[in-house]
Amino acid sequence: MSVYGHGRPQKSGAYLLELRVTKELELAFGRFQGGRVFTLAPGRVYYVGSALAGRLPGRLLRHTSRAGGPPHRMQGELLAYFRNLGWTVRPPARKTLHWHADYLVESPAELAAVYLFYGDAPREAFLEDALRVLGARPLAPGLGAGDRPGGSHMLWSPAPLAAGLQRAVGEYSS
């Protein structure tokens, strides 16, 4: 299983999407920076997001859908995870590209893991800072982070950060 929940399950919270980039990838994030094309080296890309007011399951199932093809493998895992919690959930019937993250999940990058941080408190800044401390580098200021001037909710790392994330989450929770 590649879905990791932290805290008491509820339908609100923050999340990290971990995507595996296996070969150099050129990608534009919609109109961000005038449609500039970014070159992503092999490694991991982390997207920090949140969905409050009961929208967490739907948001994640949307992220695991693709506008132009079959869903990510992770969608089946998320559906099983949510149903195991007793939640009635359904992936979207169709998807249009809206958020910067949509362009990343639409790419050939593989969704490798989803980290859920249940709760109503804003956690995106904490998660972004934790990823930076662990060595992840922002792809560009403002990318995916319209709510945090100078911040970036999309970060790159040459290797997975799972062990460090578990420690950071433990420190945050205590």
Mean pLDDT of 138-156: 83
Express each pLDDT in 8-54 by its tens digit: 999 999 999 999 999 999 999 999 999 999 999 999 999 999 998 88
Is pLDDT of 173 > 60? no
Express each pLDDT in 81-101 by its tens digit: 999 999 999 998 888 888 888
Q: What is the mean pLDDT of the chain?
A: 89
pTM, two decimal places = 0.91
Is pLDDT of 169 > 70? no
Query: In the chain, what is the greatest distance between 2 CA atoms, to the nearest angstrom?
Result: 43
Query: What is the bridge-based pairing of β-strands 13-21 and 3-6?
Result: unpaired
For 73, the token pair is 């493998």
Mean pLDDT of 65-78: 91
Q: Which residue has the higher pLDDT, 162 or 54?
A: 54
Domain extent listing, the chain = 3-173
For 121, the token pair is 């408190």
Beta-bridged to residue 15, according to DSSP, are: 49, 116
Looking at 61-75, 99-113, 132-146, 159-173, which range is the least confident one? 159-173
Express as a percent the part of the chain with pLDDT over 90: 58
For 44, the token pair is 């991991």
